[in-house]
Structure 1
Amino acid sequence: MSREKVSRDRETKKEKSHRRKSKTNRICKEVVINLLKKLYFFLRLCFDTVVDYIFAMYWESTHQSLPDLDKKHAMLRKSAVALAKEIKNKELKSEELVTACIERIKLVNPVLNAVTDERYEDALKEAREVDKLIEAGLSEEDSKKPFLGVPFTAKESHAVKGMLHTLGILSRKHIRADEDAECVRLLRVAGAIPVAVTNVPEINKWQESRNNVFGQTNNPYHTGRTPGGSSGGEAALSAALACPIALCSDIGGSTRMPAFYCGLYALNPTAGHTSLKGSALRSGKDPTMASIGFLSRHCEDLIPLTKVVAADKAHLLDLDRQVHVKDLKFYYVESVNDLRVSPVCSDLKKAMKKVIYRLSSQAENTEQAPKPYYHEGFNHSFALWRHAMTKEADSFPKLLANNEGEVNGLVELAKKLVGASQFTLAAIFKCLDEQVLPPVPAAWADRLTQQLKDDLLETLGSDGVLLFPSAPAPAPYHCEAFLRPFNFAFWGVFNALKFPAAQVPLGLNADGLPLGLQVVAAPQHDALCVAVAEHLGAMFQGYVPPCRVPE
């Protein structure tokens, strides 16, 4: 045997040995990392349990019950679609409905603190005009208005002509809108009547609807808990059976989060198909991952309302598609391994398992049964959303200063410590996030976002949906979000992907708090989200009122 061959054999053995050691080291490293992650999530669960216990000691004593629904207001149980039909068929007068809405708002708002401004008298006048039109016989144009005579409320960040448009900041506390936001205008064109505007966090950027202008909005299921943000005022009123239509928007869960916390259905449409003009001071000309959406007690309202605000782009969403749920492909994610967010609680895990079990039992074969899905991108849900926010045209520190300069987060934090800041701590933290903390590596985030998007597109196709947790837990106590600031990433990751997503209520837990999950589809397949939401809601109680309602 030649010396060269012996040498080569030795080198080959060394290489093999090195590869074996590398593989062993890599496996050991992965095992250690996985064990450390499990330990971390266990400790995080313990932390969350202790936090809940401490906050409960205060907030449980503050709970106020919501007034029951009177028989004279019983019509408010119905969907906006059903009410519009009754008005056109002369079975119900618009004035009666608007009056019931106003009276119910006056009953529940002292408990919820949701309304920031109202136009009750003007709404009643407009309702009487609708009734006169119907009595005289509708023109062809008026007969095509899908929500003729039906009242609606809008989050205060949507401009409603003549109404306060503060966006929750003190420097705008006397500012009123000169004209309607595009989404408000479109609802008016559809025949709907604005009644009031509702509370939001400063510039819509927090998980609670609290600001220094109007204070804190409460959850109708438990007033010691948050209704979420930024459409928290809308969700609180809707769940309390106070208004048939709730006009929202969503850039990081702002429609779906309040819907989940308040036990409602919601749809955040595919990004780029609704106009943000006049909403949160936006021009409507810049690309955005935000969408105009609605939440409702009735799933049947979501598609007709989305058609209104999508306007001439509605056909691109294929909202009239006939969907047969039994023919769809189902995938699911039970938990998310993002170290920044809390672990999913047992109540929501059980709810997901029940849904998967029922869908599996309904499947005609194993191929149709729901299948688990996961992608590394979900491990970085918050980071992907945070990076996506850097591509938005508006600047939070500038908007906080009413576009007259820029708020300095460090300065405001120092002022807050001595009680001199006019901003909430949540708004200051958001400024610090943009101005002080290092940015997410752009190339990495773009690459991972695209990989996650591509993989989901291939997996879901045109007939697949992803069932995804709504949040780590049901509605938290007020101010708990400061200790769990990243939990909204369960919603925000789908904003970053620009995928449509529906929120589905699944009844209540043992504490009387709403449960739920999200249904996600590929872009422009919004109809799949709504069809599955309606199917699951019907199977698992859906919306359950937070008060007694007449039979």
Structure 2
Amino acid sequence: MFEFQSVNMGKKLKIFILYAKLLLDFAIDFFFSLYWDKRKKPIPDLESKHAILKESATALAKKIRNKELKSEDLVRAVVERIKEVNPIINAIAADRYEAALTEAREVDRLVAVGLSEQEWQKKPFLGVPFTTKESQAIKGMPLTMGLWSRRKEVASEDSEAIIRLKNAGAIPIGSSNLPELLVWQETRNLVYGMTNNPHHTGRSPGGSSGAEAALTASYATTISLCSDLGGSTRMPAFYCGMFGHHPTPGSTNLRGVFFRNGDEESMFSLGFIAKHVEDLAPLTKIVAGDKAKGLNLDKDVDIKNIKFYYLESTNDVCVSSVRAELKGAMKRAISKITQELTTADAPQPYHHEGFNHMYVLWKYWMTKEPDNTALLYTNNTTEANGILELIKKVCGLSKHCLFSVVRLIELQFLPAVDSAWAEKLTKEFKDDIFTKLGENGVLLMPSAPHVAPYHYSCLLRPFNFAYFAVVNALKCPATQVPLGKDSQGLPLGIQVLAAPNNDGLCLTVARYLEKEFGGSVMACKSK
């Protein structure tokens, strides 16, 4: 009898917590909307003279190769478009426009002279410009990581990913904004300021690649190189209505990004945000290099032979409840798959206890990353103290954002996660989900509990990125897929997750959903 009453009380408590979180969420959104909705600014429509920017990077490269488009004209179009939208979204940290135009003219000269088939194969993106997060080292460009103490730092050499993109013929045109030390759900720091979501400038574009997503959604970049340690590629892609792929960790070389040497064991992975799914595989191949073959990006997969599983929500008490419109988007995707892919088994629900502890698991595995956060705060001069930084922040003396200070306090003063529990649960989680998915299964799961949040509101819901972060803890690939808009005109979407090294499965499903649901959600019209 007592056991029955305890179970009953437990259910009532869960229901109470559920409704309390929903009430808190709606209250937060209401009060923040009173301020930010009045400050929303529209993004200029894409002029017909820049219509070429609607095309994929793959298509643009083909046009340059076929002499249907000059690299200089493409670079100039991107520069002009950036200058139109950047005053509104504040995405560019530093530019190299003139140098890029000079390099583009050299590309046009080479194309006019003629390149061999072998040379074209080595340079699949010849003449196509790209942007990247400022944490990616580009020789001669700022490398601040958003830290005030590094505001005068300049990269002395290119990162490995930049070298590989350059070797593939792509032209760096600028670096973009990022949150301080990369770990936050907004793109803001004291060096460059705050980046706005182009769909609603009073909302976050996500982090840490929020500026890249904002540029892509505004037709202001053609290739967007990102990185992802806790959702930093997929979160901005979701909030801004773009596609984003997080490759299997360990497949992309990290040398020259966020002080990495490239040989670390890590959840970190380089990826891309794109308007078109067709760009994600060829770009991933470039930064993966010799390891690209292991990702099965070219695997010929019949969508009808893929096993589908889905997760509608979790019981993680750290995160908000998934909003109805996002659940609706998931249901529409499942319904479409069920109706059309008749030869496959019907999508099956999936859940594991690990999904109830998404943030805590990610928090534990972050302690295994090679970065010393307290030391990074001071540009590797001495270890910062979180409490002291908070006192300085209250007194207006700190040179760090509040979210960075709170993160430091969490690392230094809050209880550590039990390592035996976390490692045991993670192993059981991996064993179960990857056995279930196998070599031909994917999991459709929520991207986040709600659409792009208002600026600063993430401080009141700091763990809602956990739906992205759990993928990093599992060390598997995932693709963010847009699924139209909600009633407020903001992007909806889901993640497609597969077992490690089955990146091709994620992209196959992304291509199918792109065709069925209209693809990327742009922040402005094109004339």
- Distance (Å, rounded) in 2 between the aligned partners of 1:469 and 1:400: 33
Decide whether the 8 Å contact of 1:336 with 1:378 is kept in 2.
yes
Q: Does residue 150 of structure 2 align to residue 134 of structure 1?
A: no
Deviates more, 1:393-402 or 1:75-84: 393-402
Partner of 2:170: 192
Q: Which of 443, 446, 467 is matched with 1:469 structurally? A: 446
AA in 2 matched with 1:228? G
In the alignment, which residue of structure 2 is the partner of 1:172? Answer: 150
Q: Which residue of 1 aligns with 2:247?
A: 269
Q: Paired residue for 2:9? A: 32
**Equivalent residues in 2 for 1:210-221 (5 A)?**
210-221=188-199
After superposition, residues 411-450 of structure 1 pair within 5 angstroms as: 411-450=388-427
The amino acid that maps onto 2:368 is K
Distance in 2 (CA, whole Å) between partners of 1:26 and 1:445 is: 28
Partner of 2:89: 112
Could you say which residue in structure 1 is the equivalent of 2:315? 337
SS at 1:322 equivalent: coil
Q: Which residue number corresponds to residue 26 of structure 2?
A: 49
Q: Which residue number in structure 1 is paired with residue 269 of structure 2? A: 291
Map 1:297-376 onto structure 2 (within 5 A): 297-364=275-342, 368-376=345-353
Partner of 1:388: 365
| 1:223 counterpart residue number | 201
Secondary structure of 2:244's counterpart equals: strand
Q: Secondary structure at the match of 1:253?
A: coil
Shift of 1:404: 1.2
Match of 2:461 among 477, 484, 492: 484
Alignment check: 8 A CA contact 1:275 1:310 kept: yes
Per-residue deviation, 1:141: 4.3
Q: Secondary structure at the match of 2:318?
A: coil
Q: Which residue of 1 aligns with 2:355?
A: 378
Tell me if the contact between 1:202 and 1:400 (Cα under 8 Å) persists in the aligned partners: no
**Residue type of the alignment partner of 1:200:** L
Q: Deviations over 1:211-230 (max 9, x none)?
A: 00111000000000000000
Q: How many residues align?
A: 526
Query: What do you get for the CA RMSD once the two structures are aligned?
Result: 1.0
The counterpart of 1:233, out of the listed 202, 211, 217, is: 211
**SS of 2:279 mapped into structure 1:** helix
Q: Deviations over 1:423-459 (max 9, x none)?
A: 0001101101110111100000000011110001111
1:32, distance to aligned residue in structure 2 (A): 2.2
1:518 aligns with 2:485: no
Shift of 1:25: 4.2
The 2-side partners of 1:149 and 1:310 are apart by 20
TM-score, scaled relative to structure 1: 0.94
Counterpart residue number, 1:88: 65
**Secondary structure of 2:326's aligned partner:** helix
In structure 1, what residue type is equivalent to 2:17?
Y
Residues 201 and 25 of structure 1: is their aligned pair in 2 closer, same or farther, counting only changes over 3 Å? Answer: same
Counterparts of 2:126 and 2:307, CA distance in 1: 37
The residue aligned with 1:16 is none
Do the aligned partners of 1:330 and 1:371 also contact (CA within 8 Å) in 2? yes
1:176 & 1:431 partners in 2: Cα distance? Answer: 25
What SS does the corresponding residue of 1:385 show, helix, strand or coil? Answer: helix
Equivalent residue of 1:288, what SS? Answer: coil
Q: Distance in 2 between the 1:456 and 1:124 partners?
A: 48
- 1:227/1:258 contact within 8 Å kept: yes
Gaps of 5+ in 2: none
The structural deviation recorded for 1:27 is 4.4
Where 1:537 maps in the other structure, the secondary structure is helix
User: Counterpart of 2:374?
Assistant: 397
Q: Which amino acid aligns with 1:265?
A: F
1:256 aligns to what?
A: 234
Q: Is residue 98 of structure 1 aligned with residue 98 of structure 2?
A: no
Residue deviations 1:101-140, cap 9 Å, x none? 0000000000000001000000000000000000000134
Residue in structure 2 matched with residue 71 of structure 1 by the alignment: 48
Q: Where does residue 13 of structure 1 map in the other structure? A: none
Task: Give the TM-score normalised by structure 2.
Answer: 0.99
Letter of the 1:446 partner, please give it: E
Q: Does structure 2 conserve the Cα–Cα contact (< 8 Å) formed by 1:504 and 1:518?
A: yes
**8 Å CA contact retained: 2:240, 2:521:** no
In structure 2, C-alpha distance between the alignment counterparts of 1:124 and 1:347, rounded to whole Å: 44
Q: Aligned to 2:175, what secondary structure does the other structure show?
A: strand
- Answer yes or no: is the 8 Å Cα contact 1:502–1:520 preserved in 2: yes
Q: Tell me, what secondary structure is at the counterpart of 1:457? A: helix
Conservation of the 8 A alpha-carbon contact between 1:475 and 1:513: yes
Amino-acid identity (%)? 52
Q: Take 2:523 and 2:180, find their aligned partners in 1: how far apart are those partners?
A: 27
> Is structure 2 residue 142 aligned with structure 1 residue 152?
no
Per the alignment, in what secondary structure is the counterpart of residue 368 of structure 1? coil
Report the Cα offset of residue 507 of structure 1: 1.1
- Is 1:163 paired with 2:141? yes
